[in-house]
Chain A
Amino acid sequence: DAGITQSPRHKVTETGTPVTLRCHQTENHRYMYWYRQDPGHGLRLIHYSYGVKDTDKGEVSDGYSVSRSKTEDFLLTLESATSSQTSVYFCAISEWQQAYEQYFGPGTRLTVT
């Protein structure tokens, strides 16, 4: 998985609780992305980062925030989890400016009850 780890790999949480997912890379790539994967929707971009402390919104950013204080770490936070955020979350990294060749991590399965 191209030197990408995600933690935790599985999590069950209750509605209304905050949740933080972590993506860690050892490739020193500039670009990092968070996607969610739901049946029939493929992968949808939540947020992405183009450098330390530089982030931007993706297609489905409502209810999510991100932070990147180091090149190797990209955090995704659900401030108050809802059942609609039950999903599999994937982190991806890319070296080039225009999103060429994104490499994905193993994923985190999140269940909000």
Chain B
Amino acid sequence: GENVEQHPSTLSVQEGDSAVIKCTYSDSASNYFPWYKQELGKGPQLIIDIRSNVGEKKDQRIAVTLNKTAKHFSLHITETQPEDSAVYFCAAQNNAGNMLTFGGGTRLMVKP
């Protein structure tokens, strides 16, 4: 089945700096890649996603890039703010299209 690796597991940045989280996947047929943000004590919240026919997608301060050849995708957060502090998860949709496989998560800490 699909395997998703996420790095780093923890990331600490200064407010205003950029943060980058990277994920790799194993199933070349996967075609949907969402990113979730999870705050303490809450459920994951979908923040951005990308489909395999697109190489990059941007929404204000966050962007996602996808390299299908290398089978990796990344989340970029610019001008980080303390409220960006959370755990971020990447995921990949399996070939059959009926389930998501998640990475292990990245704890992002933005220092004021």
**What is the interface of chain B mostly: helix, strand, loop, or mixed?**
strand
Q: A42-B89, A42-B103, A42-B105 are in contact. Are A100 and B32 (CB under 8 A)?
A: yes
The interface residues of chain A lying within 8 Å CB-to-CB of B99 are 33, 45, 48, 58-59, 99
* Count of residues in B whose CB is under 8 Å from the partner chain: 25
* CA A45 to CA B4, docked complex, whole Å: 14
* Cβ–Cβ < 8 Å partners of A74 in chain B: none
How many Cβ-Cβ contacts under 8 Å join chain A to chain B? 64
B46 contacts A101, CB within 8 Å? yes
| Given A43-B89, A90-B43, residue A101 in contact with residue B49 (CB < 8 A) | yes
Given A58-B99, A98-B93, A100-B32, verify A42-B42 contact (CB < 8 Å). no
- A residues sitting closer than 8 Å to B (CB atoms) are 1, 4, 33, 40-45, 48, 50, 56, 58-59, 90, 97-107
| 20 interchain pairs, CB-CB under 8 A | A1-B42, A33-B99, A41-B104, A42-B4, A42-B102, A42-B103, A43-B91, A43-B102, A58-B99, A59-B1, A90-B44, A97-B97, A99-B100, A100-B49, A100-B93, A103-B46, A104-B44, A104-B45, A106-B43, A107-B42
